[in-house]
Chain A
Amino acid sequence: MSFSTLADAYQSFDFSACFHSVHASEVRNVLDRAGSQAPLDTRDLLTLLSPAAQDFLEPMAQIAKNLTCQHFGKTISLYAPMYISDFCCNHCTYCGFNANTRFPRTRLTLEQIDREARAIADTGIRHILILTGEAPKKTPLSYLEDMCRIMTRYFSSIALEIYPMTETEYRGLKQAGADSLTVYQEVYDKSIYKAVHPKGPKSDYTFRLLTPERGAAAGFRAVNIGPLFGLGDPASEAFMAGLHARYLEQTYPHVEISLSLPRMTRAGGAISPRHLLSDRQFVQTLLAWRLFMPRLGITLSTRESAAFRDQLIHLGVTRYSAGSRTDVGGYHVHTTGTTVQFEVTDTRSVNEVAAMIRHSGYQPVFKDWEIF
């Protein structure tokens, strides 16, 4: 069985009725068990994501803080994203790299990649996340393998957020030095998925859904997943992402599983969010995931504002991006006419983010892995 079977089973599930049937007493019961560190099941996750649980954010936060401190200590890992190509053949209606959006496309040369990598490494960052659009002809496996080999000169962990590949292709990238994989399903609701991915290889829902499993099977040590909040109903999307993470944790026990909470921000040619995730819902989701999976990595990007990120540090986040540029060559190469995939809201430098983390009573960790 793959996660596809499980995901299919929930396509006809009446999330709305389920969420609205939850009473405060059930939330209290789940919190009692979470506080005593009893394992929570999927029904408990639904309870924590329900409207009734919104009245319990403070006790949820207290438990989440304790669990996070216990499992991860007073530390926050830092990473930086690096865009190496914005060519894309997909037609995702929410993305600045959409094939229909007209702007001069860029793909960094290997020499430019080297310069970008050095600029990022000079900030102290040792964990890098490499991003591309989906354009296998422009960024074939061989190019990505060459890129990985360059990255190993500068970084101790190389994560990939690239187009979905086969298990064999992932093995090649692992061999070249990559150790982690990020892939967002964007939206778990099949009908919405179809509507927002009208053309291109990404329109294959199931191939994308099973990408984390191919990555785990290929030997990546860490897999990061998540929905793009703003496309589907936030609570049910958060539930499906949690379900997916739990499935991966149980099926691939050797892999570190993380979830991200990207909220849609503005990007060139993109649609507006259909379902806004409020700050309260954002926090509720983060807390529910932490209580559901105490050892889960939770990643927070610079899509969120500095002020908001400063508060979230106490609520269960384990990994922050810092000093991010979301345009190709944005750190050093500065190619002209590039576009961003999404707008960065927290524009602080790596040093400024690290100072904030220290000021909050946590240690910024620049290196927490080594490709031995």
Chain B
Amino acid sequence: MADTLTLGHRNFTSRLLTGTGKFASNEQIRPMLSASGSEIITVALRRVDLQASPQDNILTHIPDHVTLLPNTSGARTAEEAVRIARIAREAGCGDFIKIEVITDMQYLLPDNHETLKAAEILAKDDFIVLPYVMPDITISRQLYDAGAAAVMPLGSPIGSNRGLEMKPMIQRIIDTSRLPVIVDAGIGRPSQAAEAMEMGTDAVLVNTAIATARDPVQAGKAFSLAVTAGRMAYQAGMAGSSRRARASSPLTGFLQE
């Protein structure tokens, strides 16, 4: 059976989600997508200018086969997030929506309370809702009840490249969530993406680390390989670690003969 990521009614082969922000030019997006194999890309609706020239309209740089994941970046309240989501759908960006409600500009940490309110409204509105949240098993359960399609806990603050600072909390979400878990924000290296996937995360979203790399195309490829490796390791059921030696050939095996 194919190992696919299911979000709402859609199946995806790639478990690497990417972003459009922070690139030195929009022209880098298409080759990055090609190299990474990413099938979902997030775009801040606040950056979309439908009247701009093709060069400056970010949407024209995203191939048709890649699913747009508009986000509500800039929203400070649930009401604003809902408004942005509806505008995104009217603008032809599809039914996926990544809810970002941020009220702290210093660390860009999400406001779980407002995010949940927006998720409840948008799920009823038949959006495929992917909420960016502080890692917490309670919000994960509440989002399931609200009809979200996934839960997106942060690994560490947006753009920080600090990796899985929230690892224990994310593990608890993985252990308890009935929703796909997508680690969003903070992943700065392919090894960190692999680490998240080894834990059992269903997918990761990487933007800053790819967009600001010296070679974003090469970086996209590296993350793709890391995500695949991490996923394979998770599925393989890797052995646990121990502080003491474990003999690979048991010394008392002869007693069973």
A: residues with CB less than 8 A from B are: 37, 69-75, 124, 126, 156, 221, 249-250, 253-257, 295, 358, 361-363, 365-370, 372
**Please, how many residues of chain B have a CB less than 8 angstroms from a CB on the other chain?**
32
Contact A370 B25 (CB under 8 A): no
Q: What is the CB-to-nearest-CB distance from A64 to chain B, in angstroms, rounded to a whole number?
A: 15
Instruction: Known contacts A74-B212, A221-B76, A369-B74; decide if A126 and B105 are in contact (CB<8 Å).
Output: no
Which residues of B have CB within 8 Å of A361?
24
Q: Contacting chain A: which of B42-50, B133-141, B193-201? A: B42-50
- A70 and B52 contact, CB distance less than 8 A: no
Within the complex, which residue of A72, A221, A255, A362 is in contact with B74, where a contact is CB–CB below 8 Å?
A: A221
Inside 8 A of B172's CB, which chain A residues have their CB? Answer: none
Is A362 within 8 A of B24, CB to CB?
A: yes
**Bound CA–CA A250/B48 (angstroms):** 30
Residue in A75, A249, A358 whose beta carbon sits within 8 Å of that of B105 in the complex: A249
Contacts of B87 in A (CB 8 A): 370, 372
The answer to whether A70 touches B159, judged by C-beta atoms less than 8 angstroms apart, is yes
- Identify the closest chain A residue to B105 (Cβ): A256
B24's nearest neighbour on chain A, judged by CB, is A74
Q: Is the CB of B211 within 8 A of A257?
A: no
Interface residues of B in 49-92 (CB under 8 A from A): 49, 52-53, 56, 74-76, 80, 83-84, 87
A70 & B212 in contact (Cβ 8 Å cutoff): yes
**Cβ contacts A to B, 5 pairs, < 8 Å:** A73-B212, A75-B23, A124-B56, A369-B46, A369-B74
CB-CB under 8 A from A255, the residues of chain B are: 105
Q: How far is the CA of A253 from the CA of B56 in the complex (A)?
A: 31
Decide yes or no whether B160 CB sits under 8 A from chain A: yes
Question: Given B53, B80, B106, which contacts A372 in the complex, CB threshold below 8 Å?
Answer: B80
Of B105, B159, B212, the contact of A253 (CB 8 Å cutoff): B105
A372 to B105, CA, bound (A): 19
Residues of B within 8 A of A249 (CB): 105-106
A264 to B: closest C-beta gap in Å: 30
Is B208 positioned at the interface, with any CB of A under 8 Å from its CB?
A: yes
B113 contacts the other chain (CB 8 A): no
Which A residues touch B75, using CB under 8 A? 372
Do B76 and A254 touch (CB < 8 A)? yes
Q: Are A372 and B212 in contact (CB under 8 A)?
A: no
Q: Does B31 contact A (CB under 8 A)?
A: no
Cross-chain contact B23 with A363 (CB below 8 angstroms)? yes
**A366 CA / B47 CA spacing, docked (Å):** 8
Known: A74-B211, A253-B106, A295-B106. A370 touches B74 (CB 8 A): yes
Q: Which chain B positions have C-beta within 8 A of A253?
A: 103-106
Contact: B46 with A70, CB < 8 Å?
no
For residue B161, CB closer than 8 A to chain A, the reply is yes
How near does chain B come to A314, taking the closest CB pair, in angstroms? 12
Alpha-carbon distance between A295 and B49 when the two chains are bound, in angstroms: 24
B94 sits at the interface (CB 8 A): no
The answer to whether the Cβ of B218 comes within 8 Å of any Cβ in the partner chain is no
Q: How far is the CB of A293 from chain B (nearest CB, A)?
A: 8
Question: With an 8 A cutoff between CB atoms, is B26 at the interface?
Answer: yes
Contacts of B47 in A (CB 8 A): 365, 367-368
Residue from the list B53, B106, B211 in contact with A124, Cβ < 8 A: B53
Nearest A residue to B87 by beta-carbon distance? A372
- Taken together as a complex, chains A and B put the C-alpha atoms of A358 and B25 apart, in Å, by 8
Distance of A69 Cα from B212 Cα, bound (Å)? 7
**B26 adjacent to A73 (CB under 8 Å):** no
Chain A contacts of B53 at CB under 8 A?
124
Residue from the list A250, A254, A295 in contact with B103, Cβ < 8 A: A254
